[in-house]
Homo-oligomer: A and B are copies of this chain.
Amino acid sequence: MTSEQKERTPLNEALKKLTVALCEQGFAAGTETVSVTESAGRITAVPVRAALNVPHYDASAMDGITTRAELVRSASDSHPVTLSADQYTVVDTGDPVTEKHDTVVMKEYTLPGDGGTIQVTRAVPQGKNIRPTGEDIKAGEELLEAYVRITPAAVGAMIAGGVNEVSVLKRPVIGFIPTGDEIIPPGRAPAPGEITDFNSSVFAAMLREWQADVRLYPITPDKKDLLQTALAKALDECDFVLLGAGSSTGRDDYTVEIIAQTGTVLAHGLAVKPGRPTIVGYKDAKPLIGIPGYPVAGVIILREVVKPVIDLWYHGWAEPRCYCDVALAEGIKSKPHLEEFARVHFAEEDADPPLAVPHQRGSGSISEYMRSDGILRIPVGCDGYAAGDVVTIELLD
C-alpha cells in the first residue's frame, strides 16, 4: 500500500479530534502578572477594572480662575464683577477645583484688579470648564475584557485608571526538533545530498509573529533513541512540540512511531495538499505535531494546524486574517478528495477584481512561497477552478 492510497484524515476532522483531546486533558494557557507599562501586545487573562477615577479629582479644563458661579452671575463686559482674593483661585488647565468653588472662568474673561482682587467680565454657570471626577473613567469600571490584546491605548487607560499590574496569558513555549541525517545547520556550504536547515528559522519566525516563544532544538539524526531523548526533553520544556516528520515516503512512518510511543496519535496523513505527511497527536495536554519536511508543506501545516491550536491557547484571540476576491488569470486543477492550499500572486493588483495567477510549483520551493501574495483554499469535493473564475484568497504578509 503506497502512502497515496493510505486513508488520509480531513484537516477539519484532525483539528476537531485534537481540540477535543486537548480540552479533555485540561489544555489551558497559564497566566502571569506583568507590569502594565510592559504589557502592550499581551492578551488579558481576566477582565481589567479601573482602580481610580479619571480624572481622579475635579479638574479645571481651562487656564483661568475657580470661583462660585453665584458670585459672577451678573458679570458682563460693561458691568464686571470684582472678586476679593479669598473668593477665587488662579488655576492652569488640569489644576484641581476645590470643594468651595463650582465653576471656572476662562483667563480671557478676567482682568487683574487692585489689592489682590480680580474683575470678571462674563457670567458662567455651575460646573463650566470643569472635567468632573470620573468623567473619563469611573473607578471599578471594566476597562478591558478577558482575552483581548492590550493595545498601546489600553496601556494608557490602565495606567490612568490606577492599574499597575495586569494578569495576562502566558505565551506558549513551542519547541521544534528538526530531524534528518541529511540536514546540516546554516553557515557552511552543503555537500551534494546535504540540505541546509532553513525550516527551523522559517517556523520560528512564523511562530513568533503568532505570539509564541520558540525553542529550537539541535538537528536530530534519524535514530530512534536520539529522537526519543530529544522529544522527551522538548516535552519537558515546552507547551507544544513540533517534530520534523521528514519529506520522503516512509520517513513520516518513522516519526509516527516515536510519537505513538510517547503520546497518542490522532491522525497520520492528512487529506491536504501540500502537507500529507503530517502527524497530529498529543501527550497529556501538550500538542505533539509531526511537520512535513518540504518547506511549503511545513508552512501550510503550521498555518492550518498549529496556528488554530495557538488560537485555542489564547481563548480564541487571534490577529484577523485578511481576505480578498480575485479573478484567476489561469485555471487550476485539484484532486477532489484533497483540500488544497494553492499559492497565487497578483498579476494585476489594481484591476477590479484583482487578477491573480495560481502557482504550479511544488511544495519544495520556499522561493515560490516567498513570492506568493495569497493562498487559495480549494475545498474537498472541488476539482479546481477555470481561468476567469472569481475566488476568495487569504492575503499573506
Contact = CB atoms under 8 A, between A and B. Distances in A.
Given A156-B202, A162-B189, A187-B164, A63 B196 contact: no
Interface string A356-387: 00000110111111100000000000000000
Interface string A35-77: 0110011000000000010101100011100000000000000
A205 interface: yes
Copies of the polypeptide in the assembly: 2
Interface string A116-156: 00000000000000010001110000010000010111111
A193 B94 contact: yes
Contacts of A96: 192-193
Interface in A316-364: 322, 361-362, 364
Interface in A201-232: 201-206, 208-209
B295 A156 contact: yes
B366 A160 contact: yes
Contacts of A196: 159-160, 162
A56 B186 contact: no
18 contacts: A61-B362, A63-B250, A92-B251, A94-B182, A94-B247, A96-B192, A135-B365, A136-B364, A136-B366, A137-B367, A143-B367, A151-B370, A152-B209, A155-B202, A156-B198, A156-B295, A157-B367, A157-B370
Interface of A: 2, 36-37, 40-41, 52, 54, 56-57, 61-63, 92-96, 107-108, 131, 135-137, 143, 149, 151-157, 159-162, 164, 182, 186-187, 189-190, 192-193, 195-199, 201-206, 208-209, 247-251, 295, 299, 322, 361-362, 364-370, 396-397
